[in-house]
């Protein structure tokens, strides 16, 4: 028995995973959709970090981006609209040993789930969160989202959106206990991978906004940025990311920015042209909620059952207790 167990442990320790070990199916997103670039970066991350599929969970809400768990050969939870964060937090609380990712869209996160989003940042649980921001509700066929630019004509704003768009970076940087805020774009795959990789390595709530294209409903939205590299601002620093020589040759508009400087991070986040790409804020000193609570080892089935029994016992009337109660006079 001991020899077989040792062989099993050795086999698990030596197991390595290839890219196809994380590919759960053929994505049904539109051709050219930015979700495909995010999926490729995340699957590459899982392979490079050799994450065990059985110890990795992807949680989502509702929207085009929320189909993400279906395309990962790991555990997944496709939740309801705006509720990805509490679901992921529950998974992490019950199983702190798991790698938990959240994939959410600009409607799912910034509208329906805005309250959960704010408090998820404040709690700073160890989650890797990717906001797929295409500036529109795509799954329900083109309605204005919280990040839609003013003037955008959609099915809900036929004369053009009249409200200023919400800036997810500024909102995140304004919440107490924020610890990791970054931004990528789907048309820069190398930087996108590096940013998501850095987010995964951070212990705490890592929030990565990815500006992505929607070729179906907003096909020309980001064309100026695609054709003019000068409209992208690369953030570089020893404590953040350093672009490769190949990327630097194309994207020469760069700024040295210390990710610990939250005031400058807010200044950069407020500018949407040029689009900042990189790590805006990273403070590893902010404690995780799990550490504040002194969360220990994963709960065993026995401990879970004992806890449930104790709660149910509070409301249970046992037969012997009922029989021992004096009869009431009629």
- Tens of pLDDT along 234-259? 999 999 999 999 999 999 999 999 99
Ranges assigned E (strand) in 134-205: 136-137, 143-144, 180-185
| Measured distance CA(154)–CA(156) in Å, rounded | 5
> Token match 């992208």: residue?
232
Q: At 22, list the tokens.
A: 């994380």
Single pTM value for the model: 0.85
Each residue's pLDDT tens digit, 192-234: 999 999 999 999 999 999 999 999 999 999 999 999 999 999 9
Q: What is the pLDDT of residue 326?
A: 65
Residue 329 in this model has a pLDDT that exceeds 90: no
Q: At 249, list the tokens.
A: 């040759």
| Measured distance CA(180)–CA(172) in Å, rounded | 9
Q: What is the pLDDT of residue 321?
A: 64
| Measured distance CA(68)–CA(84) in Å, rounded | 12
- Output the CA–CA distances (angstroms, integers) from residue 266 to 18, 71, 136, 257, in the order listed: 39, 34, 24, 12
Contact 259, 265 (CB under 8 A): yes
Q: Identify the CATH assignment for 20-298 out of 1.10.10.10, 3.40.50.970, 3.40.50.300, 1.10.4030.10.
A: 3.40.50.970
- Output the CA–CA distances (angstroms, integers) from residue 8 to 11, 49, 53, 61, in the order listed: 5, 21, 17, 37
What's the Rg (C-alpha) of the chain?
23
């Amino acid at each position: 028995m001991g020899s077989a167990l040792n062989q099993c442990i050795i086999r698990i320790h030596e197991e390595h995973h290839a890219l196809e070990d994380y590919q759960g199916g053929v994505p049904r997103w539109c051709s050219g959709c930015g979700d495909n670039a995010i999926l490729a970066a995340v699957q590459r991350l899982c392979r490079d970090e050799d994450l065990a599929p059985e110890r990795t969970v992807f949680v989502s809400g509702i929207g085009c981006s929320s189909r993400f768990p279906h395309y990962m050969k790991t555990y997944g939870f496709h939740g309801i609209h705006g509720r990805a964060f509490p679901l992921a937090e529950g998974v992490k609380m019950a199983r702190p040993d798991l790698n938990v990712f959240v994939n959410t869209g600009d409607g799912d996160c910034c509208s329906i789930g805005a309250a959960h989003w704010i408090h998820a940042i404040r709690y700073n649980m160890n989650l890797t969160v990717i906001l797929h921001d295409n500036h529109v509700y795509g799954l329900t066929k083109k309605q204005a989202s919280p990040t839609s630019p003013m003037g955008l004509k959609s099915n809900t704003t036929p004369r053009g959106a009249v409200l200023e768009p919400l800036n997810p970076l500024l909102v995140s940087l304004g919440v107490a206990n924020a610890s990791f805020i970054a931004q990528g774009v789907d048309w820069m795959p190398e930087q996108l991978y590096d940013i998501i990789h850095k987010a995964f390595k951070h212990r705490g709530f890592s929030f990565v906004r990815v500006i992505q294209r929607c070729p179906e409903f907003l096909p020309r939205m980001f064309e100026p940025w695609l054709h003019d590299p000068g409209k992208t601002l690369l953030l570089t620093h020893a404590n953040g990311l350093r672009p490769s020589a190949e990327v630097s040759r194309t994207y020469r508009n760069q700024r040295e920015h210390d990710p610990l400087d939250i005031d400058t991070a807010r200044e950069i986040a407020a500018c949407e042209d040029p689009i900042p790409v990189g790590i805006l804020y990273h403070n590893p000193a902010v404690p995780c909620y799990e550490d504040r609570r002194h969360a220990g080892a994963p709960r065993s089935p026995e401990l879970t059952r004992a806890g449930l029994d104790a709660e149910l016992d509070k409301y249970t009337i046992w037969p012997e207790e009922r029989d021992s109660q004096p009869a009431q006079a009629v």
